[in-house]
Amino acid sequence: MANPAKPKHVKEAQGTLRKCRETDNPVTFEPLSEVPSVPETIPEQGRDYFRYCCELLLSIGLLTAAFIPDITRAAIWYAIMVRAAAHISEDDYFQKTQAGYTAINAHLTTLEKATKFLNEFEGKYGLNLVSSQKLSMPNKKKNEDDFD
C-alpha cells in the first residue's frame, strides 16, 4: 500500500520537495495552531507520547489534522510497548509450554512489534535523529578500479 501524498509545505520543511514531482492538484492541509486534546482511546501510558509528538511537529510547523490518526496509533503502540516491557524480567525471556517446549515470551514478541512500528512512525515524520539528518557519501569516480 502506497503512502499518502504529503502536503507541499511538509516536503519543503523536510527538504524533500522536488519540482519535477509537483502535482497540479496538490493535497493540502492547514497546519494546526495548537496541540489537540488527547483522544480518550489512548491508554494512560501513551498520552504523554501523543503530546510529545504533537508538540514536536507543532514546533516545526508540520502538525496538521491529517497526522492526528497516525500519532494516535503510535501513542497506542507506545502504551503497548510500555506494558509489554513491564511484564518482562531478566529470567523471563523464554517460557516453557505445557508440552515441555521452550518458546519466546509473548511480551517480548509484542515489545518487538511495538518497537518496529514506532521506529517506522518516527522515521516517517522525522522524529528521531537518524531520520532527521541526510547522510551523503562522496561519489565514486567511475574510472577507479575497486581492486587496484
Q: Of the segments 11-15, 71-75, 129-133, which one has the largest average pLDDT value?
A: 71-75
Residue 1 included in any domain:
no
3-state secondary structure labels for all residues of 4-22: CCCCHHHHHHHCCCCHHHC
Give the mean model confidence (pLDDT) for residues 69-79: 96
Residue 79 included in any domain:
yes
Give the mean model confidence (pLDDT) for residues 140-148: 58
Give the mean model confidence (pLDDT) for residues 113-133: 81
Q: How many folded domains does the chain comprise?
A: 1
Residue 2 included in any domain:
no
Residue 82 included in any domain:
yes
How does the average pLDDT of the chain come out, rounded? 80
pLDDT at 39 over 80: yes
Residue 139 included in any domain:
no
Residue 110 included in any domain:
yes
> What proportion of the chain, given as a percentage, has pLDDT over 70?
74
Residue 114 included in any domain:
yes
Report the distance separating Cα 86 and Cα 134, nearest Å.
Answer: 35
Determine the structural domain holding residue 64 and report its residue range.
Answer: 32-130
Q: What is the pTM of this model?
A: 0.68
Residue 5 included in any domain:
no
DSSP string, the chain: -PPPPPPHHHHHHHT---GGG--SS----PBPSSPPPPPTTS-HHHHHHHHHHHHHHHHTT--BGGGHHHHHHHHHHHHHHHHHHHT--TT-SEEE-TTS-EEE-HHHHHHHHHHHHHHHHHHHHT-SHHHHS---PPPPPTT--TT-
pLDDT band at 26 (very low <50, low <70, confident <90, very high): low
- According to the model, what pLDDT value does residue 89 have? 72
pLDDT at 79 over 90: yes
pLDDT at 137 over 50: no
